[in-house]
Structure 1
Amino acid sequence: MLGVAALVSSIALTLCYFILVPFINYFRDPKGLRKYPKLSFWSGISDLPFIYESHRGFRSNAVLKAHRQSPVVRIGPNALSFSSPKAIKDIYGHNTACTKDLFYQELAGSHFHLADVIDKSDHARKRKMLSSAYAIKNLEGWEHKVADMTGRMIRAFDARCMAPLVKGQDPSQQDLTVDYRMWSNLFTVAAIANIGLSEDLGFLDRGDDLITSEAADGTLKQVHFRECLSATAWAQSNLVWSYSWYKRFVTLSNLVSPTYRQKWRLNKDWDGIVRNRATTRFKRYQAGEKLDDFFTAILHDKAGTPNNLEWGEMVAEVSIMMNAGSDTTAIAMNNVMFLLLKHPACLNKLREELDGALDDDEDVAPYDKVKHLPYLRACLDESMRLLPPTTFGLPRRTPAEGAPVDGDFIAGHTSVSISSYIAHRDPTVFPEPEQYRPERWLGDAGKELQPYFIAFSAGARGCIGRNISYLEQMVVLASLLHRYEFALPHARWEPTRRENFNLSPGPMPLKIWKRKCLSDA
């Protein structure tokens, strides 16, 4: 009898918490958010509709459609999405009063890293510690590592070259020898491991992403890097939007869903990858190796004064470096190749620029020769405008006293955001926003667009690794387009895409052959 009573009480409390209280709060409207149009009928009452939209795989596109009716959309009981260009500065600008939202706290491990730390003073400490390693003046120090990885990619592609494609024909299935999505990701992981940890993973030599994962008890096993990182992003990005219930949802999903159970197991393997990278590099430090990499900046400053970080914080910084330092750049590299192949006129114009800058016998494009090429940079920026690697609105939280956003006063402790996918489609800033037009970034007109380009976010919390990303993208794209011809499976081919935190494309099989000017040499 007592068991039945307890069950009834539990059901009553659950219904009260999930239905009655949210309804009461919605009509009480203490923050004045009910005036804003909602993403769905229930979005003002519950975070579950946004979680549902996340499971569908492209929530930013759903929010974009809602923004066509309103510049502000309520995507949750305590969350607003903005689309106006003015909102960029108000939410992310250097002088914003907004801080990182509770989203980052829920996803953080035992210690915050540079990307998820909420406290502004702690963020300033971390950014000062790492800024010298990421500074643009240090790029020359990393170029040889990027060039080495590019050379390995070229050797792998040379071995996969086929006969030239007959004009007017589609490639045969067996001629699609390069999955560019996979290879671009192998490149970025290998490059950031070398730049950040002085570690040679061998991905590009082997053509796979097998890597060691180390459990908390020291047990080692081989896992696939991309599978583990993707599973982590998939599971977290589906459930995190209800902050107060996130950890309960993790537990529940583990219990009831075989799919989630597998994803969370791979998430543990991802943690093990990071742990092994950190312990392996630290053992080299203890053995007396003096290495020039990002990990050195974590250990001590330029004068050699130790930073005295806790081990958990060091591991956290390795985690974000291996995650954000590989996935977003790989997506950008994949997208620009796809868009250029879909727009042959742009590809030909870029090739003319590259051929004028590079010698025929230069396998790897020297960064010094390509870093100032205007059309190359325009092609990259237009790709990241149209298909920003990180599409979702990075959530910020208004201060306790509230803050103005896009001309409205938003009450305190409210989640506010603007998606780069949405901001980059504002026709008042980017005419014909769905068109791939690199020319929009050229000259003074292009400079005027920069404040509205938020592929790397904006303000003090903007991506610290953008210089490394441009270095990798420019060298790889210039080298490959100078050396090879590529073909998609057919003219109408499109990749699958799924939005986790990043908008991740699926495999991109290509036919590859050497350009005539090089094959005749």
Structure 2
Amino acid sequence: MADGQVVSATLFSPLRKIPGPKLAGITDLWMLFQVLRGRGSIEIDRCFREYGDIVRIGPSSVVVRKPEDYTEIYVGHKYRKDARMAKLRIFGIENVISAVDPGVHRHLRKLTNPLFTSESVKALQRPLQELLDDLFVHIDQSSRRQESANMWNLYRLLAFDFLGQAAFGNSFAALRKGTEMALMHDMDKFFRLLTIKTGLPSWVYDMTCCIPVSKWQDIVHSETRLMTLDNEIDRKGMPLSESFLCSTILIFLIAGTDTTSTSLAWITWALARYPQIYKRLRKELEVAIPDADILPDYTSLRRLPYLSAVIKEGLRRWPPASLYLPRIAPPGGAVHCGCFIPESTSIGCSPYAMHRNENIFPDPDKYEPERWLEESNGIYTLKSSSEMMSSYMAWSTGVRSCQGQPLAEMELYCVIAALTRRYEFYPDPETTDDSMREFETLLLQPISHSLKIKFEQKF
């Protein structure tokens, strides 16, 4: 940055009075550095603790964490998506996540909404039960060998197969085989590529694509390899050869596989780590599920208060899509936390930091399902309304909320209920606080990319 730009950003910017790291007021490189080292949201949370409810994280970028700001920014189309979100296009084609224009987003969402109706979701419980049977085969085999099951890997296979069932009417059978498809490896690499792509200016990203390092080039070319997905689908008898359909399918698989599997892993880790929480959930499930082999319908599972609290707290403590979601201040600007935010300024909230606001979530680093419950005459129910829900960003809110929420929630409820009802489980010695340390790409994942759990059948 030229000296004049530094002086302008420091002395004359309308954002100059908003607190934040000094370097962030001069260059976007501060935030880029945090993202590349897997600490984007973690650093934003630290900044809120140091500076207050509004923080400057770039020359023209601001984050806030008050509930009223969250509602103002994300409900409706007044604050449009940041143009940087367009970098999430696949093959250069718009999708529901990358679409900045409200009309385009509305059209794309309408095309895929039939997948997420309550009728469509209910129809998928039986195929999900079949996948759970495959999951139990792997767990039982590990148990008989007195080995741990790596639930990080198994949950990824299960989520991937479930999305195949939802999108195409057929599972990929990856879980049954117990191995990841080449497609999944390319999805992982492409996900890493998107993390870098969204953080870098386009011209810098284009230059980095020319770096002649084999591992990096393998990642760069993952998008090209993913373009063969339409051929793979053709071979399964489902002719979807147009790039638009291929792009839509891929964003569906990429957005749905790791978000759900990561959430399952974090919640399983919490239940294995805190026996008292496991025991309370187990007690509730023994009443609701007399036969461990017969899972009740999803609607019945949703009525279980402690199961609901366990899942809701897992999504609070470890929000799957944790990185802050940038929007653009509307024409004429806006006021947030007593500060004027000029139009075109990038502003948003971080789910990770919102969920750690100690004024709303006391002892926020503690996994505590009870915070979501209220008691009356000895009967526990989920809190019907609270300040916590006004800061709850697991699925975002408004017109841009997570489209796949109904599908993901059914998967979370059914898997956690079935696993807890069937097994007693605890961490393998290799699974420690250090191995489960949080690392952020576009998602919040354990740095080890592993979750080894020991299981014992307990019908």
Please, what TM-score do these two structures have when normalized by structure 2? 0.90
Secondary structure of 1:80's counterpart equals strand
Q: Residues 254 and 264 of structure 1 are in contact (CA less than 8 Å); yes or no, is this contact kept in structure 2?
A: no
- Write out per-residue CA displacement over residues 174-229 of structure 1, whole angstroms, 9 at most, x where no aligned residue: 8443101110111000000111122321111111112xxxxxxxxxxxx251x322
Structure 1 counterpart of 2:93, one-letter code: H
Q: Residues 128 and 162 of structure 2 are in contact (CA less than 8 Å); yes or no, is this contact kept in structure 1?
A: yes
- Write out per-residue CA displacement over residues 289-338 of structure 1, whole angstroms, 9 at most, x where no aligned residue: xxxxxxxxxxxxxxxxxxxxx93332221121101111101011001000
Secondary structure of 1:284's counterpart equals coil
Note if 1:378 corresponds to 2:309. yes
Q: Counterpart in 2 of 1:252?
A: 208
1:63/1:145 Cα in 2 relative to 1: closer, same or farther (>3 Å)? same
1:320/1:508 Cα in 2 relative to 1: closer, same or farther (>3 Å)? same
1:333/1:42 Cα in 2 relative to 1: closer, same or farther (>3 Å)? same
Q: Distance in 1 between matches of 2:37 and 2:323?
A: 14
Q: Counterpart in 2 of 1:155?
A: 137
Q: Distance in 2 between matches of 1:234 and 1:372?
A: 38
1:257/1:43 Cα in 2 relative to 1: closer, same or farther (>3 Å)? farther
Q: Counterpart in 2 of 1:462?
A: 401
1:148/1:492 Cα in 2 relative to 1: closer, same or farther (>3 Å)? closer
Q: Counterpart in 2 of 1:203?
A: 174
Q: Counterpart in 1 of 2:372?
A: 441
Note if 1:82 corresponds to 2:64. yes
Map of 1:485-500 to 2, 5 A cutoff?
Answer: 485-490=424-429, 493-494=432-433, 495-500=436-441
CA RMSD of aligned residues (A): 2.4
Q: Residues 93 and 244 of structure 2 are in contact (CA less than 8 Å); yes or no, is this contact kept in structure 1?
A: yes
Q: Counterpart in 2 of 1:301?
A: none
Q: Distance in 2 between matches of 1:49 and 1:150?
A: 44
- Which one of the candidate residues 205, 208, 227 is aligned to 1:272? 227
Q: Distance in 2 between matches of 1:475 and 1:161?
A: 22
Residue 137 of structure 1 deviates from its aligned partner by 3.6
Secondary structure of 1:326's counterpart equals helix
Using the aligned pairs only, state the percent identity.
22
1:436/1:247 Cα in 2 relative to 1: closer, same or farther (>3 Å)? same
Q: Which moved more, 1:394-403 or 1:469-478?
A: 394-403
Q: Distance in 2 between matches of 1:47 and 1:149?
A: 44
Q: Counterpart in 2 of 1:299?
A: none
Q: Distance in 1 between matches of 2:67 and 2:147?
A: 42
Residue 429 of structure 1 deviates from its aligned partner by 1.5
- Which one of the candidate residues 13, 34, 51 is aligned to 1:53? 34
Q: Counterpart in 1 of 2:260?
A: 329
Residue 403 of structure 1 deviates from its aligned partner by 2.8
Q: Counterpart in 1 of 2:154?
A: 183
1:111/1:267 Cα in 2 relative to 1: closer, same or farther (>3 Å)? closer
Note if 1:233 corresponds to 2:163. no
Say which one has the larger Rg: 1
Structure 1 counterpart of 2:5, one-letter code: P
Structure 2 counterpart of 1:502, one-letter code: L
- Write out per-residue CA displacement over residues 155-186 of structure 1, whole angstroms, 9 at most, x where no aligned residue: 22222223xxxxxxxxxxx8443101110111
Q: Distance in 2 between matches of 1:193 and 1:52?
A: 36
Q: Counterpart in 2 of 1:503?
A: 444
Structure 1 counterpart of 2:444, one-letter code: L
Q: Distance in 2 between matches of 1:445 and 1:395?
A: 30
Structure 2 counterpart of 1:20, one-letter code: D
Q: Counterpart in 2 of 1:14?
A: none
Q: Which runs of 5+ in 2 are unaligned?
A: 374-380
Q: Residues 54 and 337 of structure 2 are in contact (CA less than 8 Å); yes or no, is this contact kept in structure 1?
A: no
Q: Counterpart in 1 of 2:412?
A: 473
Q: Residues 176 and 511 of structure 1 are in contact (CA less than 8 Å); yes or no, is this contact kept in structure 2?
A: yes
Q: Distance in 1 between matches of 2:134 and 2:293?
A: 14
Residue 107 of structure 1 deviates from its aligned partner by 2.5
Q: Residues 239 and 250 of structure 1 are in contact (CA less than 8 Å); yes or no, is this contact kept in structure 2?
A: no
Q: Residues 10 and 25 of structure 2 are in contact (CA less than 8 Å); yes or no, is this contact kept in structure 1?
A: no
1:502/1:477 Cα in 2 relative to 1: closer, same or farther (>3 Å)? same
Q: Distance in 2 between matches of 1:92 and 1:455?
A: 13
How many residues are aligned here?
Answer: 445
Q: Distance in 2 between matches of 1:257 and 1:422?
A: 35
Q: Residues 325 and 348 of structure 2 are in contact (CA less than 8 Å); yes or no, is this contact kept in structure 1?
A: yes
1:19/1:397 Cα in 2 relative to 1: closer, same or farther (>3 Å)? same
Note if 1:128 corresponds to 2:99. no
Secondary structure of 2:23's counterpart equals coil
Q: Counterpart in 2 of 1:35?
A: 17
Map of 1:289-300 to 2, 5 A cutoff?
Answer: none
Q: Distance in 2 between matches of 1:395 and 1:322?
A: 23
